[in-house]
Structure 1
Amino acid sequence: MRLINTSTLVLETFFGEAIPCYAILSHRWNDIELSFQDLQDESGKQMPGYMKIQRCCAQAQSDGWQYVWIDSCCIDKTSSAELSEAINSMYLWYQNSQVCYAYLADVKRGRNFKEDMSKSNWFTRGWTLQELLAPSLVVFFDRDWIDIGTKGSLQEEISKITGIEDFVNFKTACIAQKMSWVSQRETTRVEDMAYCLLGLFDVNMPPLYGEGEKAFTRLQLEILKISDDESIFAWYGQFHDNFGSLDPPPPWGLLASSPKQFKYSGAIKPLDIDSRSGTVFEGDDYPFTMTNKGLHISL
């Protein structure tokens, strides 16, 4: 794991138990972000994106942290192996951080900052969902790096924006609920709509850019290997009106093609054992598996 020394702004590499305590940055990327290569080059200090790195390191240093992790420049994205490791480790890295700084470049602290916050692009991105949930402490900063509150102090506002009711016990939410949280978010690459959810569902799989929506199918198949949560099938597909058309309707399978199809699944909750007693749901849970003939399930 590469970390930036907040005193020297130089990258250092650590492995396993030798990884020190660190702060971590969550931000909405723009066109001026410094890459791993840029930070190695002296000319990178003249680039507009260097200011964000400086301010983040200064904040971490003032909070007593010697190291900080920033995704844009701590990953060598020219290495497919390193990128794959980073994508599969991202959730854990945010979870293990001492503090996560959520930088909202489109928010200015003031009388109406909460209204501006509700419109921030930060809440529309797929990757920032895990960056909100994984760390135990998230501190939000406005465009001038002024502290505007924490995940805890702003819980009511953030819940309204995200639809997430409980930031502490979010892991108990069913698959459909979790999918609904990302259903209205966006990523630059369509595959990242699946890859940004790996940690949230505790699965690992190699990223294959170019596979398109197949990435989300792969994600669901990986989830099915470790979960018997049937809410994964509780999605809604928008059917087109084919009345008067000779074309057959589009085929639909049991698995969704995109998280967007879970938009209306936020209210789905799993039944507990007590509530199933005396109902048609009473009895043992039967496992279901995906075979070469399709899904094998007992209901």
Structure 2
Amino acid sequence: MWLLRTSRAELHYFNKPPPKFAILSHTWSDNELSFQDLQALHSVATSSSDNPRSRASSKIRECCIYAESQGYEWLWIDTCCIDKTSSAELSEAVNSMYQWYASASVCYAYLQDVHAEEDGSVSDTSFRRSRWFTRGWTLQELIAPKDVHFLSADWRWLGTKRMFAAFLDLITGIDSEVLTFDRPLTSIPVAKRMSWAARRQTTRVEDEAYALMGIFQVSMPTIYGEGRRAFRRLQEEIMKSSADHTLFAWVGSFWALLRLPGHGPPILSKSPGKFTIRLHGILRHLRDTRRGL
């Protein structure tokens, strides 16, 4: 696991996460610095005796400064703390990411499109419309950490996940008890967990599946280029570890199977976007018709 030293934005490798580190959750921009970019900046800064942090991108620099001000020596940022030229390292990172967010002492959810007022307040509308709530990867980044701190575009503190739990429930559909760790994630039916991702988007289609591995506590190799087969593999892995039949309760397949027994479409969904129907309605219909999936 690569981590940034917050005082200098230098990359250091750890065989296992340190006991205390911060982690960033954000949406990507076009000018994000990669692992290689940061290493190159470090080389230039070293030759000129500059602090490499001063040459980093605004986001990396400001996050390092903020984390350091909160007492954190180490920080993880997905854009620059994974060597994506190594398929093995990328696959390991994607499979470990949920646990890394869960292990972090604090997660900073940086809302780049939310601007705070002078007193630090922010409107409900501005908050709920943030792009951060529409992305696939930020789903697990909201759920996994125990302590999430929301920050505005100018790195001002807005509040915590626990403070906003009820409002976050309204925005995301994720039960507030799950967000506050008062209810185990595993107690939530598979279909409902899938529904949390139904309206979220990823740049790569494969990430629709990879971003959900931690939500369902499964691991599998990442194969960029496999397309929607990734989501099928995810469902197959879920079936191996869970007997929850709501996995098959997705829009289209379920109702078609009821109308045309034996002639319906494939039992597995092509994407999480199909899990938008209300779960209680599905289960009630199953009970009333006494049919299994």
> Aligning the two structures, in what range does the TM-score lie when normalised by the shorter sequence?
0.7 to 0.9
Corresponding residue number in structure 1 for 2:210: 195
> 1:73 corresponds to which letter in structure 2?
C
Aligned residues: CA RMSD:
2.8
Distance 1:268 1:56 in 2: 44
Contact kept, 8 Å, 1:32 with 1:48, in 2: the verdict is: no
> 1:13 corresponds to which letter in structure 2?
Y
Q: CA deviation at 1:19?
A: 2.7
| Residue among 259, 266, 270 paired with 1:257 | 270
Q: Is the partner of 1:179 in helix, strand or coil?
A: helix
Q: CA deviation at 1:192?
A: 0.3
Corresponding residue number in structure 2 for 1:77: 84
Q: CA deviation at 1:93?
A: 0.3
Distance 1:163 1:180 in 2: 8
Corresponding residue number in structure 2 for 1:50: 57
> 1:100 corresponds to which letter in structure 2?
C
Contact kept, 8 Å, 2:54 with 2:61, in 1: the verdict is: no
The number of residues matched between the two structures is 267
Q: CA deviation at 1:109?
A: 1.3
Alpha carbons of structure 1 residues 268 and 197: separation in structure 2 relative to 1, 3 Å: farther
Distance 2:128 2:101 in 1: 23
Within 5 A, what are the aligned runs for 1:99-138? 99-110=106-117, 112-138=122-148
Distance 1:85 1:190 in 2: 19
Q: Is the partner of 1:12 in helix, strand or coil?
A: strand
Distance 1:143 1:14 in 2: 30
Q: CA deviation at 1:226?
A: 0.6
Q: What are the superposed Cα offsets for residues 104-136 of structure 1, whole Å, 9 maximum, x if unpaired?
A: 000011365221011000000000000000000
Corresponding residue number in structure 1 for 2:28: 29
Alpha carbons of structure 1 residues 217 and 101: separation in structure 2 relative to 1, 3 Å: same
Contact kept, 8 Å, 1:177 with 1:268, in 2: the verdict is: no
Corresponding residue number in structure 1 for 2:160: 150
Is 1:3 equivalent to 2:3 in the alignment?
yes
Q: CA deviation at 1:280?
A: 11
Distance 2:279 2:108 in 1: 27
Q: What are the superposed Cα offsets for residues 3-38 of structure 1, whole Å, 9 maximum, x if unpaired?
A: 10111211111113x734100000000101110011
Q: What are the superposed Cα offsets for residues 227-279 of structure 1, whole Å, 9 maximum, x if unpaired?
A: 0001101111289xxxxxxxxxx9611111110010114547989xxxx9xx9
Deviates more, 1:104-113 or 1:60-69: 104-113
Distance 2:9 2:65 in 1: 10
Give me the identity figure in percent: 48
Contact kept, 8 Å, 1:34 with 1:50, in 2: the verdict is: yes
Distance 2:275 2:54 in 1: 40
Distance 2:223 2:80 in 1: 21
Q: What are the superposed Cα offsets for residues 162-190 of structure 1, whole Å, 9 maximum, x if unpaired?
A: 01122122331010000000000000011
Corresponding residue number in structure 2 for 1:206: 221
Contact kept, 8 Å, 1:34 with 1:47, in 2: the verdict is: no
Contact kept, 8 Å, 2:253 with 2:267, in 1: the verdict is: no
Corresponding residue number in structure 1 for 2:257: none
Distance 2:113 2:237 in 1: 36
Distance 1:108 1:187 in 2: 24
Alpha carbons of structure 1 residues 69 and 235: separation in structure 2 relative to 1, 3 Å: same
Distance 2:23 2:32 in 1: 16
Q: Is the partner of 1:71 in helix, strand or coil?
A: coil
> 1:28 corresponds to which letter in structure 2?
T
